[in-house]
Amino acid sequence: MNWLSDNVNQLALLGAAAILILTIGVAAKYFKQIKEGKSEGELKEENWDGIGEYKNNSPIGWSLAFVGTIIWGVWYWFAGYPLNAYSQIGEYNEEVASHAAKFESKWANPTKEDLLGMGEGVYLVQCSPCHGIDATGIEGKAQDLTKRLLKKTVLAVIEQGSAALGDKAMDGKGRFGYQMGEMPPGLVSGADAEAVAEYVANGFSGNDKGAQIYANACASCHGPDGKGMGGMAPNLREYDDALIKAVLNNGKQSVIGTMPSFKGRLTAVQEKAVATYIRSLSE
């Protein structure tokens, strides 16, 4: 945008020019008055230590400047700015909204290759500082995204519960959580927790005791197959779109700390792209 078309810049330039002209004029007048002027007029009766004050009227220039400032201030407030409302923040928001609309339109029907490329780009910028460039979690400092669940992760969720992804997460209205609600802590413990965690982390195989405990304590929400009952609870098999969206929007309590919410920072297609890319890491 041409800076001369910005009325805020134009007002600033006009004000700067007026101040410069007035400063030069007033300085010239008073320098001349200092050199040539003489005290004259009638003194007031009051004086302080012999120092008196003349009964002079206010200078015409000062009075005009005072009245002009009031008039200009009223115009500036009601007709110029801000009520005639050029706003750099508003312009920025309009440009962002326009760009977002063009972005969504351009990627309305992305291919899997498009999603993988976009998802990798978003992941490297937004996610890799914690999860690592290779997504393995930087030696346990964050979730290893190349596997859906590790045994220690399952144990941590069993112990702590998972309130962040529940139906009342964030806003209390269930707009970003799962319909089955938050998972309470301590549904199983001790050897039972170890067994079910091993079963789930091993891809729902290899531990008969864990399978039985899962069927009794977990399947009612996550489903017998662990896929989340059609999106009503988190999918324990893979990072599906619903799970990634829920985590991105709500954040998540993890083994090492809390992942912050990314709500509003990614568009819907970017969220889908991140999910596609993360799934590809374990394929």
Domain with 143, as residue range(s), is 111-281
Provide the whole-model pTM.
0.60
CA dist., res. 261 & res. 49, Å (int): 72
My answer on whether 134 and 246 are in the same domain is yes
My answer on whether 9 and 144 are in the same domain is no
Q: Which helix (H) or strand (E) holds 98?
A: helix 88-106
How do residues 202-219 score in pLDDT, each as one tens digit? 989 888 898 999 999 999
CB burial readout 34-66, b (16+ within 10 A) else e: eeeeeeeeeeeeeeeeeeeeeeeeeeeeeeeee
Query: If you average pLDDT over every residue of the chain, what do you get?
Result: 83
My answer on whether 117 and 80 are in the same domain is no
CA dist., res. 57 & res. 64, Å (int): 13
Question: Based on the structure, what is the number of domains in the chain?
Answer: 2
Residue 1 lies in a domain: yes
Percent of the chain with pLDDT over 70: 88
268 contacts: CB under 8 Å, gap ≥ 6: 104
Confidence of residue 134 (pLDDT cuts 50, 70, 90): very high
pLDDT at 188 over 70: yes
My answer on whether 141 and 269 are in the same domain is yes
My answer on whether 268 and 133 are in the same domain is yes
My answer on whether 215 and 273 are in the same domain is yes
My answer on whether 78 and 116 are in the same domain is no
Helix and strand numbers, DSSP H then E, in the chain: 12, 4
Residue 212 lies in a domain: yes
My answer on whether 79 and 185 are in the same domain is no
My answer on whether 80 and 178 are in the same domain is no
My answer on whether 133 and 270 are in the same domain is yes
